[in-house]
Chain A
Amino acid sequence: MSILSLIIFIPIIGAIILALMPKVEDKIYKYMALFFAMVPFALSVYLFIVFDRSASNTIQFEAVHDWIHAFGATYHVGVDGLSMPMVILTSFLGMVAVLISWKEHLRVREFFVWLLILEGSILGVFCALDLVLFFLFWEIEVIPMYFLISIWGSGRKEYSALKYVIYTLFGSAFMLAGIVCVYVSTNTLDMVSLASSGILSAVSYAPLLFFLLILGFCVKLPVVPLHTWLPDAHTDAPTAASVMLAGALIKMGGYGIMRLCVTCMPDMAQHYALLFEILAVIGIIYGGAITLRQTDIKRLIAYSSVSHMGFVLLGIFSLSEIGMTGATLQMVSHGLTTGLLFAVAGLVMHNAHERNIAKLGGLGQTTPKIATLFIIASLGAIGLPTTSGFAAEFSIMTGTYSSTVVAGTHPIVMIALLGLLIGAGYMLWTVQRVFFGPKLDIYNEMEDANNLEMFYCILFVILIFTIGLYPDFMTSLIKGGVSAVLAML
């Protein structure tokens, strides 16, 4: 079995083992889940190191097996400069998600089963190079997320879980239609050969096909106005699921747009680029503005994702090397900063038993560690230089403004800049309301982060600053993947 297949299937096999094994203490399930999440992370770190950066535009660590002969679907996995960062991000978050859930006590075995399946399926999406395989993983992911939200969630959890499922399936129905169209018109399902042949652009109904394929990704990313599932799902999900959702899952949208829509139909992407650039800047400003109005700490972070993902869309449809590399970097960066924000917000909610920002306050004195971590995560989200957010957002802006492929981006970038101001506004206001101000007596007994929680939060912090100070170790890999995409234009 290739290493990539191991990375995808170890969590899934682990989930099956957990599900089928005889009943034991909860603690043992946790350690086993940690093991099944750590191995893929270790393997993807290994792949990240041995990845040939001089040839990151070609697919590496490839594995191909026959699968469904009837319509030529193969089991085809591999990574390039676009997917490798997503794989390492997902496996990192998958591991941390287990640690985040260390205090879980409700139906523990089942919880970790779903969490591992979730991780495996997201990894599958990022590695799959066959459309059927891609779609399969894309659909599998919905099931664990549904259960994670509806069983272990809070608030209107059933509503949010169902909304998530229906919304996603709504998008994937069109995607499936698109995939069938691709097969019918080209007779192949292999994403690599589709990309290299550029055959799809020749299809007579290419514009329609382009929108069929992109709709599902737009729901996932999300693109305004298809975003309203996101705040509900993120808010009501348990912390670990929120981290996976915001950190890794919505990146499937951005990744899918680049991998499928831009790579396989570059001229369509160019044709409609301005439309998506406008949607992107609407997302940045509109999403940020609504974030400012939120009163629930998790919902606030959730809405901020709408704004941040607007930057991803902006970078992608700049169709420039700098912009798309920045967009990919922004996905990694957002995974880390928002992952950390959700993790720390989870600590606040768990330890203070309160999630309404208006009722929180003065936690900087009662829980200085939590406060420090949250402030650092906020700085990353704001895009302060030396954090990953700055490197990403700056390259997106620069790349979009200087794009030679898409005209008319100048005013769009200038408006998007305002998003950075709004972003600083909602993050610092939240910090002020939750952590600053006088100590409140009701939180006197509140616990600060324990050693385990400090440990995984500091992992996030290290990564945020490493990428911020030396983004080249990510971008040197990403830009190869991007340049392969752009070679089609």
Chain B
Amino acid sequence: MTIPEICIWLIWLLPLAAFALTWIIGWIKKDSPSAPYVIIATTASWLLSLWALINVFTDGNITTSSVQWLNIGALNVKFALELNPLSTVMLMVVNTVSLMVQIFSMGYMHGDHGYRRYFSFVALFTFSMLGLVLADSLLMLFMCWELVGLCSYLLIGFWFFKPSAASAAKKAFLITRIGDLGILAALIMLFNATGTFTISELHGLAAAGAIGSAVLTWSCLGLFLGSMGKSAQFPLHIWLPDAMEGPTPVSALIHAATMVAAGVFLIARMYPLFEAAPQTLTVVAWVGGITAIFAATIALVMQDIKKVLAYSTISQLGYMFVGLALGGVSVGMFHLFTHAFFKALLFLGAGSISHAVDSFDMRKMGGLKKAMPKTYWTFLIGSLSLAGIWPLSGFFSKEGILGSAVSAQPVLFVILLVTAGLTAFYMFRVIFKVFFGEYKGDKHLHESPNVMIIPLFVLAFLAIFVGWINCSNAFTVFVDGGESQSFVTGLVGALAHPLAWGSLLAAAFGILLAFTIYKFKKISAEKVSAALPKTYNLLSRKYYMDELIQDRINKDALLNGLFRFFAFFDKHVIDGLVNAVAKAVKGIGGLIRSVQNGRIPSYGLLSVIGLVVIVILMMVVK
């Protein structure tokens, strides 16, 4: 049965209704619960999304009728929702992770002063994110893009009374806005060239070569700048580690699984434009590849478990961009798909850990395996999946990216292979530091309540099996088209390929190294870092990127440099000149006043001056 249009709109609007309802009900009755509305709405949206997915799978794309937003001359903007393979896949990702995070949050945020505010913001985020993926128009996509940015701002700064959270929220908004300017520029340029924002029309025009190549190239670069901001690619990545100031479930939802992947989705959604300007895809690939290894090296030395995961996310997003650029939409999107589940799992696991030890500092953890076995096993599954171990889902998606890089860009392939090893290393560094050895804190350890454990189980299940979807090429066929293959060939046959052994070896090497250092203690981490002080400092200070952008560029060059000069110029030159003229006029006015026996209001005086000007003027003209 075809999904009725109203249900498509409901997929999008139900979370918004939940957002409004939490506030209205809270306003009527102060201590009423707020989480149930949000969870029910998301569940309903999830079920409808599933229906939509099945529909698209069987019958192809569906576009709803449109709603007029703006209509000024040529600027005739209509919005509609579009169901296509990309958007339905994203619907499932967003709704699933959002639902798990909401259930988890019921336990994690229990007793927080801003409980209602929290759930309402999460609902608003879900609404905005669903709008982003459903938009049929680049402008609507951008508007939702800004709204998810707002929700990110509000949720990073959720504990706004902490100065660090307040500045992290601002930083996130401003750095991503640098990227947003790129999208705005692209929107304006594309509108000027084509007169439309509708994505399917833009696809057609780009494919037909109806958009000038300069416009197309600059627009694609603008769009990619936006992606770099949202998906935290070098050098606009600096906001994401700071964003860990937000509640951990939010980090899982927004800053790991969904919003930060929006940049990848944007490129995928606009892929025909990039294909028509292929040199831009090279830029995408290289920025992604550099970011992947750059962030992975920082993750090696972080002591805060969430920071490790944040840099890991940056690195994996880089992976996705390489996959998109070199392998096509399905390759990049498939890694987005699997990553969403195992990274959300890891973040929620970190949340579960901090629930017990009340810290994210790994130096205050250790030996948690005994007290928190469920958290341990699910975290291990997430780590193995991220490390790309067969047959967990991360293996398959990573394999696709490496496979497409090996022939197209061998240098990038090597970079990614090294990154895979680093990834395995830093994740098992975390595992050994957190779950093995002696507990170094002083808290009473306990396993988290079931409301938090159940989402971990669900996500762990997905982290293992979700990759199998593409064993028969189902995902690729659905998103990109192509031939399907037998399931067993995909699942086991991958191992017959030398590439798989390369990546598994890299991962195994990383895990073994972590084992030697942090479990067997054959090599001392302290000695290594002491032997390479410069390298260690460079990494632990994150290549000094924060200092460069925040202190040197923002503070020194702009705020206390150029802008200070502007302010000085305004006060002393422009306004100084005004005051000087006023003084001079006052002097002359004083003369006239004495002639006129005083008491001429300035009003009259100036009118006289005006008339004099006219008279002179008329004389000059005649």
- Chain A hits for B188, CB < 8 A: 397-398, 401-402, 413
Is B161 a contact of A472 with CB atoms below 8 Å? Answer: no
* Given contacts A364-B161, A401-B188, A424-B174, A395 and B181 within 8 Å (CB-CB): no
Contacting residues of chain B (273-313) with chain A, CB-CB under 8 angstroms = none
Closest chain A residue, CB of each to CB of B144: A385
Is A170 a contact of B606 with CB atoms below 8 Å? Answer: yes
- Chain A hits for B139, CB < 8 A: 394
Is A228 a contact of B575 with CB atoms below 8 Å? Answer: yes
Is B191 a contact of A420 with CB atoms below 8 Å? Answer: no
Contacting residues of chain A (444-489) with chain B, CB-CB under 8 angstroms = 470-472, 475-476, 479, 483
Chain B contact-residue range equals: 35 or more
The interface stretch among A41-49, A67-75, A174-182, A191-199 is A174-182
- Chain A hits for B69, CB < 8 A: 470-472
The interface stretch among B400-408, B430-438, B558-566 is B558-566
* A102 CB → nearest B CB, Å: 24
Closest chain B residue, CB of each to CB of A203: B621
Is A292 a contact of B74 with CB atoms below 8 Å? Answer: no
* B323 CB → nearest A CB, Å: 30
- Chain A hits for B559, CB < 8 A: 292-293
* Given contacts A228-B574, A385-B147, A436-B157, A472 and B70 within 8 Å (CB-CB): yes
Is A169 a contact of B184 with CB atoms below 8 Å? Answer: no
Residue in contact with B562 in the complex, picked from A228, A289, A421, CB distance below 8 Å: A289
Residue in contact with A417 in the complex, picked from B74, B161, B181, B621, CB distance below 8 Å: B181
Closest chain A residue, CB of each to CB of B176: A424
- Chain A hits for B189, CB < 8 A: 401
Closest chain B residue, CB of each to CB of A173: B610
- Chain A hits for B37, CB < 8 A: none
Give Cα distance in the complex from A163 to B574, angstroms: 14
- Chain B hits for A205, CB < 8 A: 617, 621
* Given contacts A395-B75, A398-B188, A176 and B617 within 8 Å (CB-CB): no
Give Cα distance in the complex from A472 to B562, angstroms: 40
Is B75 a contact of A398 with CB atoms below 8 Å? Answer: yes
Is B157 a contact of A386 with CB atoms below 8 Å? Answer: no
The interface stretch among B2-10, B162-170, B230-238, B541-549 is B162-170
Is B617 a contact of A173 with CB atoms below 8 Å? Answer: no
Is A166 a contact of B161 with CB atoms below 8 Å? Answer: no
**Does B491 sit within 8 A of A, measured CB to CB?**
no
Closest chain B residue, CB of each to CB of A428: B170
* B249 CB → nearest A CB, Å: 21
Is B184 a contact of A385 with CB atoms below 8 Å? Answer: no
Contacting residues of chain A (381-412) with chain B, CB-CB under 8 angstroms = 384-386, 390-391, 394-395, 397-399, 401-402
**Does B613 sit within 8 A of A, measured CB to CB?**
yes
* A161 CB → nearest B CB, Å: 12
- Chain B hits for A386, CB < 8 A: 143, 147
**Does A439 sit within 8 A of B, measured CB to CB?**
yes
**Does A429 sit within 8 A of B, measured CB to CB?**
yes
Give Cα distance in the complex from A395 to B69, angstroms: 12
Give Cα distance in the complex from A428 to B173, angstroms: 9
**Does B595 sit within 8 A of A, measured CB to CB?**
no
- Chain A hits for B570, CB < 8 A: 228, 286, 290
* B426 CB → nearest A CB, Å: 32
Is B167 a contact of A432 with CB atoms below 8 Å? Answer: yes
**Does A136 sit within 8 A of B, measured CB to CB?**
no
Is A421 a contact of B178 with CB atoms below 8 Å? Answer: yes
- Chain A hits for B564, CB < 8 A: 293
- Chain B hits for A289, CB < 8 A: 558, 562-563, 566-567
Give Cα distance in the complex from A172 to B187, angstroms: 41
* A367 CB → nearest B CB, Å: 13
**Does A438 sit within 8 A of B, measured CB to CB?**
yes
Is B184 a contact of A424 with CB atoms below 8 Å? Answer: no
0 or 1 for each of B585-622: is its CB under 8 Å from A? (1 = yes): 10000000000000000110011011101100110010
Is B192 a contact of A402 with CB atoms below 8 Å? Answer: yes
**Does A155 sit within 8 A of B, measured CB to CB?**
no
Is A420 a contact of B147 with CB atoms below 8 Å? Answer: no
* A376 CB → nearest B CB, Å: 11
Give Cα distance in the complex from A476 to B165, angstroms: 43
Give Cα distance in the complex from A431 to B153, angstroms: 12
Residue in contact with A181 in the complex, picked from B165, B191, B617, CB distance below 8 Å: B617
- Chain B hits for A436, CB < 8 A: 157, 160-161, 163, 165-166, 169
**Does A425 sit within 8 A of B, measured CB to CB?**
yes
Is A379 a contact of B192 with CB atoms below 8 Å? Answer: no
* A284 CB → nearest B CB, Å: 13
- Chain A hits for B58, CB < 8 A: none
Is B160 a contact of A364 with CB atoms below 8 Å? Answer: yes
Which label, helix, strand, loop or mixed, suits the secondary structure of the B interface?
helix
**Does B399 sit within 8 A of A, measured CB to CB?**
no
Give Cα distance in the complex from A461 to B177, angstroms: 23
Residue in contact with A435 in the complex, picked from B147, B160, B562, CB distance below 8 Å: B160
Closest chain B residue, CB of each to CB of A475: B72
Closest chain B residue, CB of each to CB of A293: B567
- Chain B hits for A379, CB < 8 A: 150
* Given contacts A290-B567, A384-B146, A414 and B574 within 8 Å (CB-CB): no
Is A402 a contact of B74 with CB atoms below 8 Å? Answer: yes
Contacting residues of chain A (305-349) with chain B, CB-CB under 8 angstroms = 320-322, 325-326
* A228 CB → nearest B CB, Å: 4
**Does A418 sit within 8 A of B, measured CB to CB?**
yes
**Does A184 sit within 8 A of B, measured CB to CB?**
yes
* B557 CB → nearest A CB, Å: 12
- Chain B hits for A227, CB < 8 A: 574
Contacting residues of chain A (142-183) with chain B, CB-CB under 8 angstroms = 142, 163, 165-167, 169-170, 172-174, 176-177, 180-181
Is A397 a contact of B75 with CB atoms below 8 Å? Answer: no
**Does B65 sit within 8 A of A, measured CB to CB?**
no
**Does A60 sit within 8 A of B, measured CB to CB?**
no
- Chain A hits for B70, CB < 8 A: 391, 395, 471-472, 475
**Does B185 sit within 8 A of A, measured CB to CB?**
yes
* Given contacts A173-B610, A177-B610, A204-B621, A365 and B74 within 8 Å (CB-CB): no
**Does B498 sit within 8 A of A, measured CB to CB?**
no
**Does A362 sit within 8 A of B, measured CB to CB?**
yes
Give Cα distance in the complex from A142 to B606, angstroms: 13
Give Cα distance in the complex from A413 to B218, angstroms: 15
* A364 CB → nearest B CB, Å: 5
**Does B486 sit within 8 A of A, measured CB to CB?**
no
- Chain B hits for A394, CB < 8 A: 139, 184
Closest chain A residue, CB of each to CB of B71: A472
**Does A16 sit within 8 A of B, measured CB to CB?**
no
Is A472 a contact of B68 with CB atoms below 8 Å? Answer: yes
Give Cα distance in the complex from A90 to B75, angstroms: 28
**Does A17 sit within 8 A of B, measured CB to CB?**
no
- Chain A hits for B602, CB < 8 A: 165-166, 169
Give Cα distance in the complex from A309 to B163, angstroms: 33
**Does B578 sit within 8 A of A, measured CB to CB?**
yes
Is A385 a contact of B146 with CB atoms below 8 Å? Answer: yes
Is A286 a contact of B566 with CB atoms below 8 Å? Answer: yes
Is B143 a contact of A385 with CB atoms below 8 Å? Answer: yes
- Chain B hits for A414, CB < 8 A: 185
0 or 1 for each of B572-589: is its CB under 8 Å from A? (1 = yes): 001100100010010000
Is B613 a contact of A169 with CB atoms below 8 Å? Answer: no
**Does B111 sit within 8 A of A, measured CB to CB?**
no
- Chain B hits for A413, CB < 8 A: 188
Is B578 a contact of A228 with CB atoms below 8 Å? Answer: yes
* Given contacts A289-B563, A292-B563, A322-B72, A173 and B161 within 8 Å (CB-CB): no
Is A437 a contact of B146 with CB atoms below 8 Å? Answer: no
Is A166 a contact of B621 with CB atoms below 8 Å? Answer: no
Residue in contact with B566 in the complex, picked from A290, A420, A437, A476, CB distance below 8 Å: A290
A-B contact pairs, 10 of them (CB 8 A): A286-B566, A289-B563, A384-B147, A390-B146, A395-B75, A399-B72, A420-B181, A424-B173, A424-B177, A471-B69
The 7 closest A-B pairs by CB, nearest first: A173-B610, A385-B143, A436-B166, A321-B73, A228-B575, A293-B567, A289-B563
Instruction: Identify 8 new A-B residue pairs, CB closer than 8 A, beyond the known A386-B147, A428-B169, A432-B167.
Output: A166-B602, A176-B607, A286-B566, A290-B566, A402-B74, A402-B192, A436-B165, A472-B69
